[in-house]
Amino acid sequence: MSEPILEIRHLSKSFGNNEVLKDIDFTVSKGDVTSIIGASGSGKSTLLRCINLLETATSGEILYHGENVLRGGFNQSAYRAKVGMVFQSFNLFNNMTVLKNCMAGQQIVEKVPKEEAKQRALYYLDKVGMTPYLNARPHQISGGQKQRVAIARALAMEPEILLFDEPTSALDPEMVGEVLEVMKKLAEDGMTMLVVTHEMGFAKDVSNRVVYMAGGIIEEEGPSAEVMSNPKSQKMREFLERFLQ
Amino acid sequence: MGNLFTDIGKVLEKYGLTYLDGMKNTLILAVVATLIGCVIGFFCGILQTIPYGPKDHFLKRFFLKLLRVIIRAYVEVFRGTPMILQAVFIFYGLPYVTGIAFQDIWTVSIVVVSINTGAYMTESVRGGILSVDAGQTEGAKALGMNHFQTMLHVILPQTLRNIMPQIGNNYIINVKDTSVMFIIGFMEFFSVHKIVAGATFKYFPSAVLEMGGYLLMTLAASVLLRWIEKKLAGRQSYELVNLDQLATTAGTYNYPGKGSPFDERSREFGGEKR
């Protein structure tokens, strides 16, 4: 096994009395493509948001190369810059063009010189096939195109790991394919990815590990081929059956 | 009616330049104070929205809470009292308490109107920030931007566009309401009327000029603001960029070996075979 990038240890999260995540434990290693699947409300998205510090975990540890990111005084901005995030609702900056969206993080956070930032942005926009649209504004392009730009924006920071929060759930059916295609290409290039998804095909064929969550705990996890075709837990079997109907 | 026009003519002949001077002063005061008021508003808007959580240090939480209380108090006091009174209060109050008098009437006038506008703008900016989708903040945070970077590069540009009509409102209100500054002796447009009417007793003709003058200033402002709003909205169209001729997207026909856009159609209608 290669070196772990993220180790989640005993992570819990409560909203008031409602415990959404209970004692979550798992590890993401370099090159892993992990799918997190499960019914709505099982805590998948909350887990991802806790990892990217958009939600503050109630207890537990998140180790990034062995260092706990939840302790006081940790440089959260630098951590976030290296842990990319792709959102369900894209969250492209509405006041910037496609190109500027992909340059902003580099220039503002990493202080990359303008010309270099532009070259890097163009490289990744080309990777997701959005070069022709670099002068468009987010409201002028389709959902699938927005999500591809959002992926390029995250890639332009040259992150060590990319988190995807249901990247295709807000898309029209005919646009799901183009986004999954880009993600598949990334996986093949060896990008470390953690993907919350309802796309069982992606979980089975593209990712190499699957985590199944139910009721705020990890019910089952393992190599995707094994877990997806032959789940041990009764709950997961029922979940997959519902999806295949 | 004939009388009215001759009276206006007489007044203008003698005091025309004084009216113009008053208009100039009113406009300068309104523009400068609205701009400073906007800066105050955006500044308070940024400070007011610095996030803090239960896990932050006690002193940080205390300081940020105190900051919000101070801004709140500032807004309530200056939004809740008449500007004419604020002018008197500051103009006479400061020398009374500190013994330092204002060097000139411009400074004190700009200070009073700016502070007053700032109180309104702080609320407008707060509303404008709230109206920007929370996803924008999350997108910026996820790239590693801190609060100030997020505000400066992502949220406030969008806020500015959203609250442009409010800024316009405030500016037009300022053009009119700076007329209360006559109370501390600032020579704006309305105080010209008081002088002229006092000297000539031509109250109505002068009032007609004043009405026309104020309307002219506010209408010009309306037109200008609409234009700025349009500029801020950005271009409504964009051009596809072709950095690499081979990477042409589907649906366009002009890549090598594909001929002209009319090829398909001519074939369809039994044209030449290729």
CB B11 within 8 Å of CB B200:
yes
Per-residue confidence of chain B (274 residues) as pLDDT tens digits?
668 888 888 888 888 899 999 999 999 999 999 999 999 999 999 999 898 877 778 898 999 999 999 999 999 999 999 999 999 999 998 888 888 877 789 999 999 999 999 999 999 999 999 999 999 999 999 999 999 999 999 999 999 989 999 999 999 999 999 999 999 989 899 999 998 888 888 889 899 999 999 999 999 999 999 998 888 877 777 878 765 544 444 444 333 333 444 444 334 444 444 3
pLDDT at site B247:
44
Inspect the interface and report whether the beta carbons of B144 and A126 lie closer than 8 Å.
Answer: no
Q: Is the minimum CB–CB distance between B55 and chain A shorter than 8 Å?
A: yes
User: What is the spatial distance between Cα A195 and Cα A36, in angstroms, rounded to a whole number?
Assistant: 6
Burial code of B141-175, b = ≥16 C-beta within 10 A, e = fewer? Answer: bbbbbebebbbebbbbbbbbbbbbebbbebbbbbb
CB A228 within 8 Å of CB A210:
yes
Q: What is the pTM of this model?
A: 0.83
pLDDT at site B263:
40
Phi, psi of B104 (to 5 degrees): -145, 165
A67-68 and A59-64 strand pairing = antiparallel
Residue A215, by phi and psi: left (phi above 0), alpha (psi -120 to 50) or beta? left
Q: Is the minimum CB–CB distance between B246 and chain A shorter than 8 Å?
A: no
pLDDT at site B15:
87
pLDDT at site B248:
42
Regions of chain A with pLDDT less than 70: 1, 245
A4-15 and A59-64 strand pairing = antiparallel
pLDDT at site B2:
67
Inspect the interface and report whether the beta carbons of B144 and A97 lie closer than 8 Å.
Answer: no
Of residues B256, B257, B254, the one with CA closest to residue B274: B257
Instruction: Choose the mutation target among B52, B131, B143, B162 for the interface with A, i.e. most A CBs under 10 Å.
Output: B143
Q: Which residue in chain B is spatially nearest to A48 when comparing CA positions?
A: B142
pLDDT at site B1:
61
Q: Is the minimum CB–CB distance between B135 and chain A shorter than 8 Å?
A: yes
Residue A44 three-state SS? helix
In sequence order, what are the residues at sequence separation of 6 or more whose Cβ sits closer than 8 angstroms to the Cβ of residue B262? Answer: none
pLDDT at site B94:
87
Inspect the interface and report whether the beta carbons of B144 and A80 lie closer than 8 Å.
Answer: yes
* Residue B50 to chain A, least CA–CA distance (Å): 15
Which chain A residues touch B244 with a CB distance below 8 Å? 126, 131
Inspect the interface and report whether the beta carbons of B158 and A105 lie closer than 8 Å.
Answer: no
Q: Tokens 């366009």 correspond to what residue?
A: B252
Residue A118 three-state SS? helix
Give the pLDDT confidence of B34-65 residue by residue, as tens digits.
999 999 999 999 999 898 877 778 898 999 99
Q: Is the minimum CB–CB distance between B254 and chain A shorter than 8 Å?
A: no
Which chain B residues touch A75 with a CB distance below 8 Å? none
User: What is the spatial distance between Cα A25 and Cα A211, in angstroms, rounded to a whole number?
Assistant: 11
Instruction: Choose the mutation target among A48, A79, A87, A93 for the interface with B, i.e. most B CBs under 10 Å.
Output: A93
pLDDT at site B273:
41
Inspect the interface and report whether the beta carbons of A54 and B142 lie closer than 8 Å.
Answer: yes
Residue A107 three-state SS? helix
pLDDT at site B270:
42
pLDDT at site B3:
86
Which chain B residues touch A135 with a CB distance below 8 Å? 238-239, 241
* Residue A186 to chain B, least CA–CA distance (Å): 19
**C-alpha radius of gyration, chain B, whole number:** 28
